[in-house]
Structure 1
């Protein structure tokens, strides 16, 4: 950039096609773990856009806490902001569970 060479020791620019591809490859394993745990057979929803994950959970809070604990342990080098509730803002959306 601007006639200079930069070296990223950890991470990289999020708007780089290569970084997006490498992120998707890396996060695919976490996607599969969460999809398996949230179990589509129980009418749950899972979605991810870049590094933003959204999924529904209708089982016990204790089960969810165990899954999140496992995920944090497995991916301890990543930081997570976890929001649990009946409504939330996700990207440009406001989502609410009225049931």
Structure 2
């Protein structure tokens, strides 16, 4: 496994943990495949922007 894969997994794990807490509260969809994240968002675009900026 290249070092970049390991580093991206570490970075995404911390971001993913925060995102999963919020998505579970809102009963949304979340998926991950290697270094790609997929999720559904039915709240406002401002809320999504705030989430991605934090």
TM-score by length of 1: 0.44
Give the CA deviation at 1:33: 1.2
Structure with the larger RCO, 1 or 2 (CA within 8 Å, 6+ apart): 2
Q: By percentage of residues, which structure has more helix?
A: 2
Total equivalences in the alignment: 52
Q: Which runs of 5+ in 2 are unaligned?
A: none
Give the CA deviation at 1:66: 0.6
1:36-91 deviation line (CA, Å, top 9, x unaligned)? 232x1322011111111101111111100111122xxxxxxxxxxxxxxxxxxxxx
CA RMSD of aligned residues (A): 1.9
> Partners in 2 of 1:18 and 1:68 — Cα distance?
25
Q: Which runs of 5+ in 1 are unaligned?
A: 1-15, 71-99
Task: Give secondary structure in 2 for the equivalent of 1:58.
Answer: coil
Aligned to 2:38: 54
Aligned to 2:29: 45
Larger radius of gyration: 1
> Partners in 1 of 2:20 and 2:45 — Cα distance?
17
TM-score by length of 2: 0.71
> Partners in 2 of 1:56 and 1:69 — Cα distance?
17
